[in-house]
Amino acid sequence: MTSFIIIFFCLSPLGLKSQEVSFPKHSIILDAGGIGGYGSLNYERTFFSKNDFFISYKAGFSFYRLKDFEREINPDLLFPLSLQYHRKFKSHQAVLGVGQTISSIVKASADFASKVRRSRLSLSGIIGYRYQKDNRPFSIQISYTPIFERYKTFQHWGEISFGYSFFKKNKP
């Protein structure tokens, strides 16, 4: 698996062409699954691009429910944040990233005597494939997004994402 990733990301100027390469500058992305839990709405911005790759950060928002278990308005909040490296092969992109999810969940206290809000950080990895035609706004991405909950418990997880991008042009 590791060797596959190395080959995929390092050995490949195959997609390079001396033509104009476009990179999405801003994107709005809807994740089903992923590091935001069961789904999240995200903003992605490309902050570095060169030749056939670009690097973006992505920040999102999600919540499980508005009312807590005592039926008071007290939402469970999730903020998925990630840094992603994208290698372009024409319309195809290989994506590698790392993420942090800030969770703020309302639950019973350890002894169940009271209600508490717990905020935690969880680490995630992202290995994915994105399809987006050059200069076209719509994209779709499928990723494996394992989550290390509270840096403690490992969970296999995945996502499918649908994006809409706004472009800037780059000359390689």
Partner 1 sequence: MKPLLSIILIILFSFSCGKNDLDLSQVRNLNGDKISPFGHAGMGISSQYPFNSFESISNALNIGAEGVEIDIQMTKDSVLVLFHDRTLQEQTDLEGLIYDQNWDDLKEATYKNPLFAEYKIVSLDQLFEHLKKVKDYQFFLDFKLYQPDNSDSYASTYINAVIKTIEKHQLENNVLLSFFQQKYLEKLKLVRPNYKLVINNSFENGILLADDLNAYGIILNNDNVTKSQIEQAHEEGIRVYLFGAYSKNDNLDAIEKHPDFILTDKVNHLVKVLK
22 versus 104: smaller Cβ distance to partner 1: 104
CB of residue 158 to partner 1, shortest distance in Å:
12
In the complex, minimum distance from the CB of residue 141 to partner 1, in angstroms, rounded to a whole number: 19
Residues 6+ away with beta carbon under 8 Å from 137: 164, 165, 166, 167
Question: Closer CB to partner 1, residue 15 or residue 33?
Answer: 33
The amino acid at residue 52 is D
Least separation in angstroms between CB 38 and partner 1: 7
Which among 160, 120, 163, 164 is positioned nearest to 38, based on CA atoms? 160
CA-to-CA distance for 166 and 140, rounded, in angstroms? 15
Q: Which is nearer to partner 1, 46 or 103 (CB)?
A: 103
Cβ proximity to partner 1, 82 vs 103, nearer residue:
103
**Would you tell me which residues interact with partner 1 (CB under 8 A)?**
37-38, 64-65, 69-71, 76, 78, 101, 103, 105, 107-108, 110-113, 118, 120, 122, 147, 149-150, 153, 155, 157
Q: Which contiguous run of DSSP H or E holds residue 154? A: strand 153-155
Sign of the Cα torsion 12, 123, 146, 162 reads: negative
Nearer to partner 1, 61 or 164 (CB): 61
Contact assessment for residue 29 and residue 42, using Cβ atoms and an 8 Å cutoff: yes
